[in-house]
Amino acid sequence: MQCFPLAHILAVLVLFLSGCVTNPETGRSQLMLVSPGEEASMGLASFTQIKQQEKISTDTVANARVTRVGKRIQQSVGREIPNAQWEFVVFDSPTVNAFALPGGKVGVYTGLLKLAATDDELAIVMGHEIAHVTSRHGAERTSQNYAIAGIGALAAFGMEAKQVDPAKRNMILAAYGIGSQVGFALPYSRLHESEADSIGLRFAAGAGYDPRAGATFWRKMAAQGGQKPPALLSTHPSDADRIRNLEQLAPRYMALYEQSKARYQ
């Protein structure tokens, strides 16, 4: 019988004992095995690659709009994120999307600018994306993937040491892979989206943008149609749940919006 590798046991133990932090936005406990410096470096590398692969818009109006809204949300965050070098870039593409990466790198596609008719709606989207960064959702997902892989490796070595039949071993590991995604990774992904919706509304309101635009914009997104996976298999909440949540959250931030709006008039 094979000896169970001590190094693998220690690696998995370290994985679980070394990385709990508190989400600075919500107070929720997070597994975090990626340092802020590593996270910012990955964000910068990804953004550099995207700028090389995607067409950058030269539309001065679109660029001025995104920068104006982005800088106000940057101020609304209320604290500097680690290793931030803020940059707001418009990409010339019909894709209805935007993103933010660690290090303060934000991209918005012209397709989204057409759908987000007002700065209020644009601020909702950019606030949401920046909220993912301030909450370190990307690093948390990476850390969770490390943990899932570590447990899977530990199980595989354990079954190999016990000489479990290879076919049965593969079946168990496949079931573990599916179960860890459906029962753990995907629910956390939906939680991240809901957190970013709430935090993003606060950022937008604090920048003087109307939080009621959240539900308005997502009704437009829902009307875009397209086939979507069942809720259990989705990385995002359903459109109906998202709109309902945004409608319920907006009144919470109206006083902040009214107070902040006066600074920009």
Active site (catalytic) residues: 129
Structure token digits, residue 72: 């106000």
CA distance 78 to 74: 8
Assess contact for 76 and 17: CB atoms under 8 A. Answer: no
Question: What angle, rounded to 10 degrees, do the helices at 186-206 and 60-76 form?
Answer: 100
Assess contact for 109 and 91: CB atoms under 8 A. Answer: yes
Q: Which helix (H) or strand (E) holds 174?
A: helix 166-180
Residue 4: CB atoms within 10 Å: 13
Expressed in angstroms, the distance from the first to the final Cα of the chain is: 76
Among the listed residues 259, 233, 263, 237, the one whose alpha carbon sits nearest the alpha carbon of residue 248: 237
CA distance 71 to 60: 16
Among the listed residues 164, 265, 257, the one whose alpha carbon sits nearest the alpha carbon of residue 208: 257
CA dihedral (159, 161, 162, 167) positive or negative: positive
Query: What residue has token string 């920048």?
Result: 207
